[in-house]
Amino acid sequence: MKRFVAAVLTTLLLVAAAASQTPPRVLSTYDIERFLKDAPALMSDLEAVGSDVDEEVAESQDDPASFSPEAMKSLLAAARTSLEVRRVLEKYNWDARFWDVYFTIYVGVYVSMMDQALTQYPSPELKAQVDRFRAAIHRDDHTLVLRNLPRLLEVFEALDEED
């Protein structure tokens, strides 16, 4: 009986540990549609108040050694504290949750694009980096990003052209 109880407890602990490592689901179809609609003007307004977050995130990719989900979250955390940034978000009826949506969409797009690159140019180092990003978002969120990838790419490409 003691072995059975120990086995059950061990199983429960392993399941709880695995569940705690899965990032929460962030996105809905509504979030994607809203992001697609608001992101171009919202990012332009952020740039106008001196917070070009999209450009900062894009520039952070230039140094693969330091580009990580944690570094990206840190960059976005700084934007969360700005009063001007909060005012811009309020203008579009977003709150600080926008940054969770932005992070999840950006990471989903990044992982999707890097997966395509890895099929043509396999690299264990790059795959390890992409896997870190993949683990940073919920699998269902990534699936939702994939379903909307062409439209999301259009938005990010338009943002790049503005910079």
Give domain status of residue 5, yes or no. no
Give domain status of residue 15, yes or no. no
Alpha carbon distance 53, 12 (integer Å): 41
For residue 55, name the pLDDT band (cuts at 50, 70, 90): confident
Tokens at 29, concatenated: 């179809």
Give domain status of residue 4, yes or no. no
Give domain status of residue 16, yes or no. no
Res 42: pLDDT: 95
Alpha carbon distance 92, 124 (integer Å): 41
Average pLDDT for residues 129-158, to the nearest whole number? 96
Give domain status of residue 7, yes or no. no
Give domain status of residue 10, yes or no. no
Give domain status of residue 93, yes or no. yes
Give domain status of residue 9, yes or no. no
Q: Looking at per-residue confidence, does 105 or 21 come out higher? A: 105
| pTM score, whole prediction | 0.84
Domain containing 130 equals 26-162
Name the domain count of the chain: 1
Please report where in the chains the tokens 């809905």 appear, as a residue. Answer: 28
Q: Residues of the chain with pLDDT > 70: what percent? A: 87
Return the closest-CA partner of residue 107 out of 76, 78, 145. 145
